[in-house]
Structure 1
Amino acid sequence: MKLVIIGSVAAGTSVGAKARRNSEELEITVYDKDVDISYSGCGIPYYVGGTVEALDDLTPRNAAWFKKRYSMDIHTAHEVMNVDHESKTLTIKNLATGETLTDTYDTLVLATGATSFIPPINGVDASNVFSVRNIRHADAIRSFVDREDPKQAVVVGGGFIGLEMAEQLTERGIKVTLIERLNQVMPPLDADMAARVSAHLADKGVELKLGETVKELHHAEAGTKVELESGEVVDTDFVIMSVGVRPNTTLAKQIGVELGATGAVKVNKQMQTNVQDVYAVGDVAESFSLITGKPIYRPLGSTANKMGRIAGQVITGEQTEHRGILGTGIFKIFDLAVAQTGLTEKEAEEHGYETAVLHNIKPDRPEYLGGKEMVIKALADKESGRLLGAQIVGPQGVDKRIDVFATAISFGAKAEDLFHLDLAYAPPFATTKDPVMYTGMALHNALTEKSPLLTPQQLLAWMKEGKALQVIDTRATSQYEKAHVDHAVNIPLGALREKASTLDPSIVTVVYCNKGTTGNAAQNILQNLGFDKVYNISGGHKNYQHVKKQLDL
């Protein structure tokens, strides 16, 4: 059987490698219009910033390596111009010589990836405007920076790559302005968690223009002016366009391959398209949510490798299937790690879930051994108790916890299951009750209505509505005097039992401490004394002040 793969980055090479491991009888041919293969696109910002010294470090394997290791022929700088599926014939152009050739296949795999979206505005075709997608882009950007020694840069787009580029250019001493059309950076995060990232960027000197769109680029010898839709103009020496990608579906559509709701190629769990003997993998194909079962498009290298391996297995007769993804992601922004998995609060609401939401602020390990606070936002379905998603922001320990959450969600864990995990403990690595375990315990309590949580957003909405509330600050008086929730009265925890008689047990009561733990203790006391409805602010006063500042109240 003759297997032809179009595309040779993560997904395409994974198909060929797995197919060869399973069969020595296949003839495997790969075509790619690029000259670089199997490269680390996610490493591009770090090459531009100089953290990665050599470009070759991002391209550790070439066509000769794959030929020797897997007996697969990879033809770079060869663009497939046309596919005739009826005759199973390809028309290919050798981009180096201009020569046109043909080839045939029995099975075809589309691993054509995605292309950076460039907005159709004046000035984007200038030599100082760059995309960030492949190795050639990386080389062009770093060469420009090394040669021109620019002082100012504009990064358009606040996703993974845009933020990493902002960090690396800042580290090189370049003043960065980041422009994002949404009112927050990082769309995979909820707004309250994204605001923590924005604040950190601002602290590091990155100027943010949120809710702004680039209208036009004006180039002159003295530099470039970026005109925004609002009328504001930003001066810069060069521009990085990182506003997202679009799947390369031209060949797919040419042979009648169906596209899904996301605009990427629709595939089944075996990576098969609706056209016989045609598969699609990687950034050209859509996946589906492990939680909702609905299509999602998350072009990540980890997903591409997984899809490629599954296609290689199926093509060679293995019984396997794609189980879906959570869209798990993590990135570093200066000395802060940011991670997410599963559904956000906003997405859960859109899918019809009624959720309990917890903000857990805990150190990754004991403070006496250098522990630093992480903010964990987790949510669970009130009906089933199932964990739906988690987001974490913190300087350390984030990667370990997000992977535990992702694993738990993948296997359908409920919030209470997290507390029963037998996680590794020693003071250099974790606290006795790991933040993951504490998250599960507190979230389970909130689900059972034993210890209901109230987000700062909900409290602020109630106050705006004029809802009858009594708000109790259970912290020390000195903390209360520095700052407190509007209209809160100060009753430190130690005095709460004695002074509870001064409160009305029939009125909705909201308690809080600094981060949530003491507030929960106060909640238990009042509930045991017969108070009808007692809420604890999720994440305590610390989270309340963060949200209030974010909303500019």
Structure 2
Amino acid sequence: MNVVIIGGVAAGTKAAAKLKRMDQTIRITLLSRDRDISYAGCGLPYYVGGAIESRGELIVNTPEKYTALTGVTVHTEREAFRLDSAQRQIFAKNLENGEEELYPYDACVVATGASSIVPPLPGVQAEGVFKMRTPDDAEQLRTYLTAKQARRAVVVGGGFIGLEIAENLLMRGLSVTVVDIAPQVMPNVLDPEMANFAKKHLQKAGVRVLTGTKVTEILAEGNKVTGVLTSAGKIVADVVVMSVGIRPNTAWLSDSGIQMERGLIVVDDQLRTNLPDVYAAGDCVIVKNRLTGAAQWSAMGSSANYEGRTLAQALAGQDKHYPGVLGTGVVKLPGLNGGRTGLTEEQARQAGYDLETALAVTDDKAHYYPGAAFFVTKLIADKASHRLLGIQVFGPGAVDKMIDIAVTGISMGARLEDFENLDYAYAPPFSTAIHPFVQAVYVLLNKLTGVLESMTPAEYAAGAAKEYTVVDVAPQPSIPGARWVDLGKVNGPIEGLAKDQKLLLVCAKGKRGYFLQNRLKAFGYTQTKVLEGAVFFNDVKVEGAQSTVSPQDVTRVKALGFLQDKRTPDRFNGRVITRNGKVSAEESKVIAEAAERFGSGEITMTSRLTLEIQGVPYANIEPLRDYLAQNGLETGGTGSKVRPVVSCKGTTCQYGLIDTFALSEEIHERFYHGYRDVKLPHKFKIAVGGCPNNCVKPDLNDLGVIGQRIPEIDASKCHGCKVCQVENACPIHVAKVVDGIVSIDADACNHCGRCVNKCPFDAITRYTGGYKVYVGGRWGKHVAQGRALDKIFSSKEEVLDVIEKAILLFREQGITGERFSDTIARLGFDQVQAQLLSDELLQRKQENLSAQKHLVGGATC
């Protein structure tokens, strides 16, 4: 039998390899339009971000390796353009030489996949606009980011790939904005309240998210992208990634007679099309939903592989059938993982189910084990049968295990009761004694049986709690304006709360609210509701209560650059990051407008040349950040991290010896942005001075760089003048005429360079330019004078390397809570200097940065 397979990524290569293993006598020819086959498309964002270091790691098999392993003949750069089912032949174009080729077949497999949709927007062809579908796309984007030193990115599209590329651009130190025309991220994947949780988390992590926003134009100057124009305004960008979706590569089949829906090939459960001996699999086909039987498109690498394998088995004569998909997916966000399978609430209703949902916040492992975190789990089940229909989960840890349990249960028609006593694995590093999935099942079962009466986050957001009195059940009062109840002391009716009063019971995660409801029911209370997800998931506010901000939120927004004004309970001063104390006229206008719209209208300058917008109400923080981000500005500059760089204006100053603006901006991009997620023992401040005048006190910072000009004396040209112009020019009086020859004490000279060209006889015209680096300075409550490294560095690259080594040394050898000066004092300056002048710290860089260290840090402002 002669089989021709068109498409060489997931479904095509899997089908070919499996079929060849089942019958070595079958001749299989695989045609691929691309040069690469069998590549890891799902890994592309992580190649852009650097987690995957080399392009070669994305290539599962080269054509040569694949042929050697399987015996399949592979022809790359062959684009099929016609299928003639009557004559059983495929017409393809050889993209290397332009010639047409003919491939007869006994059986044909179409696995041509899908391609990125690039909407026909004005400017979409500009340099700096990318899609993300093939290794070439990822390679081009990664190269561009480095070559152009991109700082600001816009990702158009908030689906799986869009959010993954956003995370990886953030990891590279870029300021990232995600724009989606849909009213939520991951539309048709998550229910709105779960999507909103993801959006809030992304915003906390530093990603700007604009939903319900349409991109209308790509802006460019000289064909180089400068931003995007949206229905919400202009967003400045150095790079734009289009991730608005994909379309199946099936246009070439339009006159073949093959049955399609919305461009997708219709197949049966053995992946057969309506044409004789023509099969199809992967991103170009529409299969069915396992639960509902309705047609469903699942463009996932996992589905493609399963389909390819099943197709091969059916083609080889086995009675194998593909049961369909559940829309399973997982996504990695900054510091948070998300997953889902089955039906969303809306999808279940459309399928005719009478459903019930529950949202539970649980520990993901034993709470006392280091690194324990949480799962936010939403379950959806059929009310009558208690059959599980869907799940959505968020958490920093292994959400995939929660999803996989649900996949197994849904696929086998499990009822909630079937999960109650399953013998799941338990040990403190891995799980809780009652598995988190089972805990969520208990919550939903309690709700279905009436043991728990609750209000969902979606209902709360829609205003269902309007007539309810909010009862705070946290161990300590935490909700302004709510009636706090000490759970441990509730042994009867609560004074001031009527038994028929509508009470919304709210705690930290939901458990204490349930405990209180149980007691109150026993005491005759009839209208209590527990808020699912409690304050962990919901923004709980009591109408008319004095606005205050929880300590947790004060800490959270501090990390975003907003410091609480001690005179108020809910107003903050937001730090607008300037790269070196310099702002453009346009930026100044934006900051002034932001201060008027979102703050008190006042702007102050901090001692580190950072602008602060004063008096920003807590509710205005995210709108302010969004407004600034749309204009290429950001807030931040707090926490135990590298701080924004402060620079004098040595670039333009009469005494300036180096381009301080350029150097400080490069330090800012490389270490403030590039190390934004690197936690240190304490804050790490960097200052750049143009000369030894030390206007910005580089030697009182954790690390300071000072421009140097080391004079060189040509004694043969010295006339020993009675009034020496060089001596007169020296501001610290270390230039002296001794025995008729001018000399400079090398140990005392501060290398300000003011003596250069002062001699009328050219005794000092030559000099060596360079940089002096101080380490271990600090000022504030405790002052420490930094000490200069012995070496005067002659190149900017050397200085940047030393800065990076100092940061790495501080992270690796500093103790949480101590300043860099303390670390140097403890280790000894000589030992620190020896490390900073060698390359061993750089060699240990990845190991250092990947270590879980200084998760709290010592910075308080």
Aligned counterpart, 2:53: 53
Aligned counterpart, 1:83: 83
Aligned counterpart, 1:62: 62
Deviation string, structure 1 residues 393-434 (Cα, Å, up to 9, x no partner): 111132222221222222112222222111111111111112
Aligned counterpart, 2:486: 492
- Which whole-Å CA distance do the structure 2 matches of 1:358 and 1:203 have between them? 25
CA contact (8 A) 1:157 1:244 kept: yes
Residues 410 and 543 of structure 1: CA distance in aligned 2, closer, same or farther (over 3 Å): same
Aligned counterpart, 2:509: 515
Other structure's SS at 1:424 match:
coil
Alignment partner of 1:218 is 2:212:
no
Aligned counterpart, 1:483: 479
Other structure's SS at 1:30 match:
strand
- Which whole-Å CA distance do the structure 2 matches of 1:128 and 1:463 have between them? 47
CA contact (8 A) 2:155 2:166 kept: yes
Which 4+ stretches in 1 moved above 6 angstroms?
Answer: 546-550
- Which whole-Å CA distance do the structure 2 matches of 1:92 and 1:451 have between them? 63
Other structure's SS at 1:269 match:
coil
Offset of residue 242 of structure 1: 0.8
Other structure's SS at 1:123 match:
coil
Other structure's SS at 1:399 match:
helix
Aligned counterpart, 2:25: 25
CA contact (8 A) 1:357 1:453 kept: no
Offset of residue 509 of structure 1: 4.6
After superposition, residues 261-280 of structure 1 pair within 5 angstroms as 263-280=263-280
Aligned counterpart, 2:367: 367
Give percent identity, aligned residues only: 37
- Which whole-Å CA distance do the structure 1 matches of 2:528 and 2:406 have between them? 28
After superposition, residues 91-130 of structure 1 pair within 5 angstroms as 91-130=91-130
- Which whole-Å CA distance do the structure 2 matches of 1:123 and 1:254 have between them? 33
Other structure's SS at 1:125 match:
coil
Deviation string, structure 1 residues 185-218 (Cα, Å, up to 9, x no partner): 1221122222222222222322222211111123
- Which whole-Å CA distance do the structure 2 matches of 1:24 and 1:546 have between them? 65
Other structure's SS at 1:499 match:
coil
Identify the range of structure 1 (70-79 vs 341-350) with the bigger mean alpha-carbon deviation.
Answer: 341-350
Deviation string, structure 1 residues 24-81 (Cα, Å, up to 9, x no partner): 2211111111111000001111111222111111113122222222211111001112
Offset of residue 441 of structure 1: 1.1
Offset of residue 474 of structure 1: 3.1
Alignment partner of 1:181 is 2:181:
yes
CA contact (8 A) 1:247 1:283 kept: yes
Residues 417 and 528 of structure 1: CA distance in aligned 2, closer, same or farther (over 3 Å): farther
Other structure's SS at 2:133 match:
coil
Residues 349 and 85 of structure 1: CA distance in aligned 2, closer, same or farther (over 3 Å): same
Aligned counterpart, 2:472: 473
Residues 67 and 519 of structure 1: CA distance in aligned 2, closer, same or farther (over 3 Å): same
Residues 545 and 314 of structure 1: CA distance in aligned 2, closer, same or farther (over 3 Å): same
Offset of residue 224 of structure 1: 2.4
Offset of residue 384 of structure 1: 1.3
- Which whole-Å CA distance do the structure 2 matches of 1:368 and 1:483 have between them? 26
Aligned counterpart, 1:420: 421
Deviation string, structure 1 residues 217-255 (Cα, Å, up to 9, x no partner): 232149524443426112222211111101112233321
Residues 450 and 30 of structure 1: CA distance in aligned 2, closer, same or farther (over 3 Å): same
CA contact (8 A) 1:3 1:107 kept: yes
Other structure's SS at 2:28 match:
strand
Residues 448 and 166 of structure 1: CA distance in aligned 2, closer, same or farther (over 3 Å): same
Alignment coverage as a number of residue pairs: 543
The TM-score normalised by the length of structure 2 is 0.60
Aligned counterpart, 1:140: 140
Identify the range of structure 1 (490-499 vs 158-167) with the bigger mean alpha-carbon deviation.
Answer: 490-499
Other structure's SS at 1:42 match:
helix
Identify the range of structure 1 (342-351 vs 11-20) with the bigger mean alpha-carbon deviation.
Answer: 342-351
Deviation string, structure 1 residues 284-320 (Cα, Å, up to 9, x no partner): 0112211211111120000000000011000000101
CA contact (8 A) 1:215 1:229 kept: yes
Offset of residue 497 of structure 1: 3.6
Aligned counterpart, 1:202: 203
Identify the range of structure 1 (533-542 vs 136-145) with the bigger mean alpha-carbon deviation.
Answer: 533-542
Deviation string, structure 1 residues 512-545 (Cα, Å, up to 9, x no partner): 3321112222222233344445432212233332
CA contact (8 A) 2:18 2:309 kept: yes
Offset of residue 14 of structure 1: 0.8
- Which whole-Å CA distance do the structure 2 matches of 1:223 and 1:78 have between them? 33
2:302 counterpart letter in structure 1: S
1:140 counterpart letter in structure 2: Q
Other structure's SS at 1:162 match:
helix
Offset of residue 175 of structure 1: 1.8
After superposition, residues 254-293 of structure 1 pair within 5 angstroms as 254-260=255-261, 263-293=263-293
Residues 176 and 447 of structure 1: CA distance in aligned 2, closer, same or farther (over 3 Å): same
Deviation string, structure 1 residues 353-389 (Cα, Å, up to 9, x no partner): 2322222111211222121122111121112111111
Aligned counterpart, 1:154: 154
Residues 525 and 263 of structure 1: CA distance in aligned 2, closer, same or farther (over 3 Å): farther
CA contact (8 A) 1:357 1:538 kept: no
Aligned counterpart, 1:311: 311
The TM-score normalised by the length of structure 1 is 0.93
Residues 362 and 265 of structure 1: CA distance in aligned 2, closer, same or farther (over 3 Å): same
Alignment partner of 1:408 is 2:409:
yes
CA contact (8 A) 2:327 2:342 kept: yes
- Which whole-Å CA distance do the structure 2 matches of 1:525 and 1:431 have between them? 26
Other structure's SS at 1:44 match:
helix
CA contact (8 A) 1:91 1:102 kept: yes
Aligned counterpart, 1:376: 377
Other structure's SS at 2:177 match:
strand
Aligned counterpart, 1:354: 354
Aligned counterpart, 2:328: 328
Identify the range of structure 1 (448-457 vs 387-396) with the bigger mean alpha-carbon deviation.
Answer: 448-457
Other structure's SS at 2:321 match:
coil
Other structure's SS at 2:92 match:
strand
- Which whole-Å CA distance do the structure 1 matches of 2:338 and 2:534 have between them? 21
